[in-house]
Amino acid sequence: MSYATTFTNRNYRNVLKEYGYDKEQIDHKVVNTWKQLFDSSHPETQIYFSIGDDLAYMLDTGNDDVRTEGMSYGMMMAVQMNDKDIFDRLWKWSMTYMYMEEGENAGYFAWSCAPDGAKNAYGPAPDGEEYFALALFFASHRWGDGSGIYEYSKHAKDLLHHCIHKGENNDGYPMWNPDNKLIKFVPSVEFSDPSYHLPHFYELFALWSYEEDRVFWKEAAIASRQYIATSAHPVTGLAPEYAFYDGNPNHIRGFGHFFSDSYRVACNIALDYEWFKDNACPVVVNEKIQAFFADKDPEDYRRYTIDGEPFDEKALHPVGLIATNAMASLATSGNHAKKCVDLFWNTPVRTGKRRYYDNCLYFFSLLALSGNFKIWFPE
């Protein structure tokens, strides 16, 4: 299969090197950060825990649970770092404890489990499924398919097919709205989360999913780029955690403001632009976000309305916000971009109870800014 040269056979930008950091130091920082998150010799920063001979989980240390978000993130990190053992351990734990075979959510993954594998909930969170799918495709392309649960590409295609066709036989709900092609916050509701939108993933799903599903994924990529632009505030660039399909904030449960989920929007724009350079990628959103935070002290990051009014409530994940604002620089330039990268470089990974989400965003940002968050194609 041939692919357009716009996103293949090219070098991935090393933004850190472009801004003057030493290549050897960059490489060391990537490896050392990986060890801090995945090696038991770093208990103050560790979020990966192996179990027995062939299982492992990513622990949300702030909530003492295991989430599809973290498991799929861990798998994506492992395939980028070429660690098949860690990838397979996480995937087997996910299939053993999170995969649901009964009920209206059969075929999806329970979004939260206890570390012993007991399900805390029987509903899925679509951001986990989409990361599972692309991590599985990358694993198939980098290492080859095995058998059973390790036939990675088949599980990816089956999962994506399920995500968009479930409900056609009154057996539950799809994860994407079939009419507007927008991802849902959870399958049973009709609103979205702007940070769930990964048009760069959907472009690849349109290449590798079952043939009958490929048009849907191409349309989803187009729709998501438009939605990201629409849901972001026109002045600040800030997006809400929950938003209606028209992009307006959904304030149910207080989630219509810029807070933890919202940070990922900048990452998604950045990686989409790095991978595809699509003219519809709303890079201006990242420019506005970086400008908004340019005069703010990281020690005083807050929850904000999307028009920029601060709450008294401090940011729950300030290191994560530093990381995502830096990753935004894959799609921006100028003083704000460099300032965000420099702040990130000089910020260590987070320790303590709330370290999980911050450090996931930190490592993804480090991979991306060092040119190591790559598309893995079939040989």
- List the catalytic residues: 69, 261
Question: Is the distance from CB of 235 to CB of 258 less than 8 angstroms?
Answer: no
Other C-beta atoms closer than 10 Å to the C-beta of 316 total 15
The structure tokens 């660039």 sit at 237
SS3 assignment, position 294: coil
Q: What does the alpha-carbon distance between residue 257 and residue 262 come to, in Å, rounded to a whole number?
A: 8
Closest C-alpha to 340, from 12, 11, 16: 16
User: Cα dist. 302→158, 288, 293 in Å?
Assistant: 40, 17, 11
What is the distance of C-alpha 263 from the center of its chain?
10
Strands 302-304 and 310-314, bridge-based pairing: antiparallel
Other C-beta atoms closer than 10 Å to the C-beta of 313 total 11
Q: What is the DSSP letter of 354?
A: T
Q: Which amino acid is at 237?
A: G
Other C-beta atoms closer than 10 Å to the C-beta of 226 total 18
Q: Which amino acid is at 98?
A: M
Q: What percent of the chain is helix, strand and coil (3-state, nearest 5)? A: 50, 10, 40
| Phi/psi of residue 211, nearest 5 degrees | -55, -35
Q: What does the alpha-carbon distance between residue 226 and residue 58 come to, in Å, rounded to a whole number?
A: 32
